[in-house]
Structure 1
Amino acid sequence: MGQLTQAVAPRDNSKAPAFRTPSMKAPDSFDGTQAHKLRGFIQFCQLIFHNDPETFFSYRKKVLYSTSFLTGRSGKWIEHYLSYISNEDPSYLFNNWKLFETQLFSLFGDSSEVRKAEQELENLRMKESGHVSLYIADFRSLIFDTPQEPMDITLELDTRYHERQKEKGSHQEKKPPVTGSNS
């Protein structure tokens, strides 16, 4: 009876996580010679990060983990940065996942894949009989095949432009008209 009471009694689980996800296998290494494998490598790393956010809570941890699976050409590329990891200048790469990802795609990604996705994105139209949800799904699948950094920069520039226009409108001083007389 004592064992039954102990088994049914409420436990203090305040320190334990609500649930535990299964551990995942490590990503396959990426050597930089097969551009079509890069997207899968990045996506697999991101799944691992989302599966274990307590371990991968910083960009630095994400980048350092991912670099441990770079071999061959991509390993040679990151090797240079690893020798300067404690210096401030190159450490920006290790503290910025998006920059790291963008660098990998620009150096080892398939540029024809990006160009094709950009062309498809430019030509994407919603069909009259189509559903908005299908258009959005097509848009989202194509946007992930294009470099994200230029899109982020474009949005930032657009925001700055509109903020500047508001500033000009509220701070614009009325100047007297310029006359042509020389007195």
Structure 2
Amino acid sequence: MEPSALVYDTAAAAEIWRRVAPAIPAYGAGVCPAGATCPLPRRETDGEAALGSLIADGAALYAACRRCAARSPHGARRVLEQLAREQQRTVRSLLAAYFLLTGRWRQPPVPAAGLQEPWLTALRRVFLAESVLQRDCAALAEQLENGCLRQLLAAEAERAAARGKSLAALLENSLTTANNLLKW
């Protein structure tokens, strides 16, 4: 079963938007002078583009973690499912940061279907993606001028580092247990 990559429910968000601020158009749409609704022209800054890239990478990592959990042994499955839930929370946090930075919502792209590879190879791929996400969150945190968003991204980088440590420990346990490397 392929996991859902959607971490942001646009229909629910639009309904909440209509209840909270019905006079303000949702999702950056503005009213043109002729009365028709049209998108407001706006260029994305480098920081916004980097944050959007983090959101896409996080959604892809969430899907990869779920795929890896589906093919893993029972003991590793629980750990990977927990890591997937934490990754989903990270993507939601990044989506909130994007909205706070731009005032617009962003739907993460649906990740491509994963490769059919051995689960240890998939676990290694998830570990590498987690370390890249950690590095990119820390780098973007240093670039932002907004202190609150800088702290949010720095915290996400720390959580990604902790998930990376968990993945490394899981990989080490799996390799030594599955291959009996520690038999002396």
* TM-score, normalised with respect to structure 1: 0.27
Name the structure, 1 or 2, with higher relative contact order (CA <8 Å, separation 6+). 2
- Structure having the higher helix fraction is 2
